[in-house]
Amino acid sequence: MELSGAEIIVQALKDEGVDYVWGYPGGSVLHIYDAIFRQEELRHILVRHEQAATHAADGYARATGKPGVVLVTSGPGATNAVTGIATAYMDSIPMVVITGQVPTPVIGSDAFQEVDTVGITRPCVKHNFLVKRVEDIAETIKKAFYIASSGRPGPVVVDIPKDVTDPNVKIPYSYPEQVEMRSYSPVEKGHPGQIRKAVDMIMGAERPVFYTGGGVVLGEASEELRELVRKTGIPVTNTLMGLGSYPATDDLYIGMLGMHGTYEANMAMHETDMLIAIGARFDDRVTGKIAQFCPNARIVHIDVDPASISKTVRVDVPIVGQVKSVLRDVLRIIDDLKCEPNKPSLAKWWERINGWRSRDCLAYDQNGSSIKPQFAVEQLYQATKDDDFYLTSDVGQHQMFAAQFYPFDKPRRWINSGGLGTMGFGLPAAMGVQQAFPDASVACVTGEASVQMCIQELATCKQYDLPLKIVLLNNGYMGMVRQWQEFFYDGRYSHSYVDALPDFSKLAESFGHVGMRIDNPADLEGAYKEAFAMKDRLVFMNIITDPEENVYPMIEAGKGHHEMHMSPHHSSERELS
Partner 1 sequence: MMRHIISILMENEAGALSRVSGLFSARGYNIESLTVAPTEDATMSRMTLVTTGDENIIEQITKQLNKLVDVIKLVDLSEGSHIERELMMIKVRAEGAARDDVKRLADIFRGNIIDVSENSYTIEMTGNGSKLDAFIDTLNEDQIIETVRSGPLGIARGGQRLSV
Is 227 an annotated catalytic residue? no
Total site size for partner 1, rule CB under 8 A: 18
- For residues 158 and 128, the answer to whether their CB atoms sit within 8 Å is yes
Give CA–CA dist 40/103, Å, rounded. 27
For partner 1, the binding residue among 1, 46, 307, 337 (CB under 8 A) is 307
Is 478 an annotated catalytic residue? no
Query: What 3-state DSSP class applies to 556?
Result: coil
For partner 1, the binding residue among 38, 41, 46, 119 (CB under 8 A) is 119
Q: Would you count residue 122 as binding partner 1 (CB under 8 A)?
A: yes
Nearer to partner 1 among residue 89 and residue 253 (C-beta): 89
Amino acid letter, 542: N
Give CA–CA dist 513/462, Å, rounded. 7
User: What count of Cα atoms within 13 Å lies in the side-chain half-sphere of residue 291?
Assistant: 3
574-575/564-565 β-pairing: antiparallel
Q: Looking at 167-175, 296-304, 307-315, 485-493, which segment touches partner 1 (CB under 8 A)?
A: 307-315
How many other C-beta atoms lie within 10 A of the C-beta of residue 514?
17
Among 113, 292, 456, 463, the one annotated catalytic? 113
Give CA–CA dist 15/115, Å, rounded. 30
Among 7, 11, 50, 575, the one annotated catalytic? 50
Is 90 an annotated catalytic residue? no
Is 559 an annotated catalytic residue? no
Of 78, 105, 288, 331, nearest in space to 196 by CA: 331
Shortest distance, position 147 Cβ to partner 1, whole Å: 6
Q: Would you count residue 526 as binding partner 1 (CB under 8 A)?
A: no
Angle, helix 137-149 to helix 5-15, in steps of 10 degrees: 30
Q: Would you count residue 363 as binding partner 1 (CB under 8 A)?
A: no
Shortest distance, position 307 Cβ to partner 1, whole Å: 4
Give CA–CA dist 53/39, Å, rounded. 21
Nearer to partner 1 among residue 191 and residue 311 (C-beta): 311
Among 2, 37, 41, 112, the one annotated catalytic? 112
Q: Would you count residue 118 as binding partner 1 (CB under 8 A)?
A: yes
For partner 1, the binding residue among 43, 127, 196, 570 (CB under 8 A) is 127
Shortest distance, position 142 Cβ to partner 1, whole Å: 14
What contacts 3, CB < 8 A, 6 or more positions away?
Answer: 11, 170, 171, 173
Give CA–CA dist 244/414, Å, rounded. 7
Q: Would you count residue 310 as binding partner 1 (CB under 8 A)?
A: yes
Shortest distance, position 306 Cβ to partner 1, whole Å: 5
Q: Looking at 179-187, 202-210, 400-408, 530-538, which segment touches partner 1 (CB under 8 A)?
A: 179-187
Shortest distance, position 276 Cβ to partner 1, whole Å: 21
What contacts 20, CB < 8 A, 6 or more positions away?
Answer: 42, 43, 44, 45, 57, 60, 69, 432, 435, 436
Shortest distance, position 467 Cβ to partner 1, whole Å: 40
Of 217, 366, 204, nearest in space to 278 by CA: 217
Q: Would you count residue 184 as binding partner 1 (CB under 8 A)?
A: yes
Is 573 an annotated catalytic residue? no
Among 126, 143, 162, 469, the one annotated catalytic? 162
Where would I find the beta strands (DSSP E) of 439-486? 441-447, 469-474
Q: Would you count residue 314 as binding partner 1 (CB under 8 A)?
A: yes
Shortest distance, position 329 Cβ to partner 1, whole Å: 23
Of 93, 141, 128, nearest in space to 432 by CA: 93
Q: Would you count residue 183 as binding partner 1 (CB under 8 A)?
A: yes
Q: Would you count residue 311 as binding partner 1 (CB under 8 A)?
A: yes
Among 480, 516, 541, 554, the one annotated catalytic? 480
Of 405, 420, 369, nearest in space to 86 by CA: 420
Q: Would you count residue 147 as binding partner 1 (CB under 8 A)?
A: yes
Q: Would you count residue 130 as binding partner 1 (CB under 8 A)?
A: yes
Catalytic residue numbers, as ranges: 50, 112-113, 162, 480
Binding site for partner 1 (CB under 8 A): 118-119, 122-123, 126-127, 130, 147, 181-184, 305-307, 310-311, 314
